[in-house]
Structure 1
Amino acid sequence: MRAHTRTWLRCGLLGLFAVPWIGIPLWMLLVNSFKSQGDSSVLSLDLPTNWDLVQNYRTVIDRGSYVTGLTNSLLVAVPTILAVLLFGSMAAWSYARSSSRSLRVAYYCTTLSVVLPPAIIPTVYVLTQLGLNGSRLGYLLTITGTRLGVVVFLATGFIRTLPVDFEEAAAIDGAGKWQIYWRMILPLLSPVLVTASVMLIISVWNDFFFALFLLQGPGRSTLPLTLFQFASTSTHGVAWNLVFAHVVLSSLPLLVAYAFLQRRVLSGLTEGGVTG
């Protein structure tokens, strides 16, 4: 059997495996967002008998605080992702080029944030003492701190594979630390940072846990919070058609971001996973 035939066979088998886990839930989400409330209460895979597509999505936008949630999510996600990429890549460069034991300990502590559960009570206490509890700034700082580990882990492993000679030559020519980082390290890290960006977009955009405790007032709710509030306000059961429509609209920015970044995700993830 030829190599390309085996490749197509593996892709076909993976596609068949993915259909029940990805295709069916996605179809259920879309088709039920087009139905009336009565039809969607059955949660079937059938096509709608009565198409309420425009009405459902218009209701979500008008009554589901979608625009408010979208605005707040963008105000949190964009600066958070930029800050995490900037400070995370800076820290990764320091960790990768230093032999200090204290920085090695700091590296392991930073990367542990990827797997450790969030400590909400100490976080609320610290933000209260700083006068930031319930504010958008306090939430932004918390999300930034808890997401740094992803960028540090990916970027540190990649930088360790890069030769130091170019940095030393630039330093001999008179380049400062900032110039070396900005003109040499950051461009080389671009595939890794693209991969980290996709992971951060998904993580930050879908965050519900911290948003529930740290954001106060409906005017500051992000999309996951507006979805929760919209789904829990009904007194006659959950209107699944509207909930699914809200989920579709909330996921659209993620799909747009992934469409722009997906070409470089796999290469960046492979390069960032090298720990030599």
Structure 2
Amino acid sequence: MSASAIRPLAALKYAVITLFALPWVVIPVWLVIVNSFKTAGEAGALSLALPGQWSILENYTAVFVTGGYLTGLRNSLLVAVPTIAATLLLGAMAAWAYARSRKRSFQFFFYLTSLSVLLPPAIIPTIYVLSTLHLDGSLAGYALMMVGTRMGLIVFLITGFVRGIPEELEEAAAIDGASRVRIFRSIMLPLLRPTLFVGGVLLVIGVWNDFFFALLLLKTSANATLPLTLYSFASASTTSLNWNLVFAHVVMTSLPLVIVYLIAQKRVLAGLTEGGVKG
């Protein structure tokens, strides 16, 4: 196919994608942002028009002063950073073991671990275990639960990638005297970097936006993550919902994810492409 024929097809493809994105992405994002700049009365109309009276400073100041944003941001970071680091590291180790083992027991445990992607976590036993360990209601207990529930996704994602890596690389390193730890650190981790990056982004989205488990496991406002502070802020009013403040809090809650996306966009696309080639 000639280059002149490809250009109209590419233009048509981008036009279709743009038309599809407008009602599902652009309009909702614009609705949230523009209404976070309005007064309570204007924002209550939920229109797409620009504010008649701008209230940017007042709305975002309220989010920081009375919305518990800084507390939620601190707690979300305290949960997300160790959860993502531990899940990626332990998941990569488990995936390497599952991919290289020929034992049926290992294959059974691989399928059992991967099954957690589909099955919902057992809430009652989780709360019982955390209570027994005196971690119920704490950020540490919540982080441990998040690691356990997200491990299956990372193991499933990485195991297939490891199976596409030639075993000769590890055998050559072992012949040269490298230990298993050295092989994993110096050979496997660099090769797994694209897939780990994709898995890390998926974890960031899942952990950062989690509300259900946070609501069940974090019982005090001092340990509330950003979704919980947003929920408390939105439900604090007994008369009417101040949509301008709610939208401002939504913008600030989503801002860290937007920053991560802008930084990681190229690496995530590269990891997905490389993973597709490996598969």
**TM > 0.5:** yes
Q: How does 1:104-115 map to 2 (within 5 A)?
A: 104-115=107-118
In the alignment, structure 1 residue 232 sits paired with structure 2 residue 238:
no
- Name the residue aligned to 2:224: 221
Report the AA paired with residue 121 of structure 1: I
Shift of 1:132: 1.1
- Name the residue aligned to 2:100: 97
Partners of 1:231 and 1:243 within 8 A in 2: yes
> Which region of structure 1 is more displaced relative to structure 2, 61-70 or 101-110?
101-110
Which of 137, 141, 157 pairs up with 2:140? 137
Give the number of equivalent residue pairs: 276
In the alignment, structure 1 residue 28 sits paired with structure 2 residue 20:
no
- C-alpha distance after superposition, 1:30-76 (max 9, x if no partner): 01101110111111111111110111000011000000000000000
For residues 105 and 270 of structure 1, the distance between their equivalents in structure 2, rounded to whole angstroms, comes to: 29
TM-score, scaled relative to structure 2: 0.96
In the alignment, structure 1 residue 75 sits paired with structure 2 residue 78:
yes
Partners of 1:91 and 1:152 within 8 A in 2: yes
Where does the alignment leave 5 or more consecutive residues of structure 2 unmatched?
Answer: none
Q: Secondary structure at the match of 1:2?
A: helix
For residues 101 and 2 of structure 1, the distance between their equivalents in structure 2, rounded to whole angstroms, comes to: 53
- Name the residue aligned to 1:205: 208
For residues 116 and 275 of structure 2, the distance between their equivalents in structure 1, rounded to whole angstroms, comes to: 18
Shift of 1:265: 1.1
Structure 2 CA distance for partners of 1:273 and 1:90, relative to 1, 3 Å: farther
> Which region of structure 1 is more displaced relative to structure 2, 159-168 or 110-119?
110-119
For residues 133 and 164 of structure 2, the distance between their equivalents in structure 1, rounded to whole angstroms, comes to: 40
Report the AA paired with residue 251 of structure 1: S
TM-score, scaled relative to structure 1: 0.97
- Name the residue aligned to 2:57: 54
Shift of 1:274: 6.8
Shift of 1:272: 3.6
Percent of pairs with identical residues: 56
For residues 22 and 115 of structure 1, the distance between their equivalents in structure 2, rounded to whole angstroms, comes to: 27
- Name the residue aligned to 1:13: 16
Q: Secondary structure at the match of 2:92?
A: helix
- C-alpha distance after superposition, 1:212-271 (max 9, x if no partner): 111121110000000001111101211110000000000111011111111011231244
- Name the residue aligned to 1:42: 45
For residues 272 and 211 of structure 1, the distance between their equivalents in structure 2, rounded to whole angstroms, comes to: 32
Report the AA paired with residue 42 of structure 1: A
Structure 2 CA distance for partners of 1:275 and 1:100, relative to 1, 3 Å: farther
> Which region of structure 1 is more displaced relative to structure 2, 115-124 or 197-206?
115-124
Which of 182, 188, 192 pairs up with 2:191? 188
For residues 197 and 96 of structure 1, the distance between their equivalents in structure 2, rounded to whole angstroms, comes to: 20
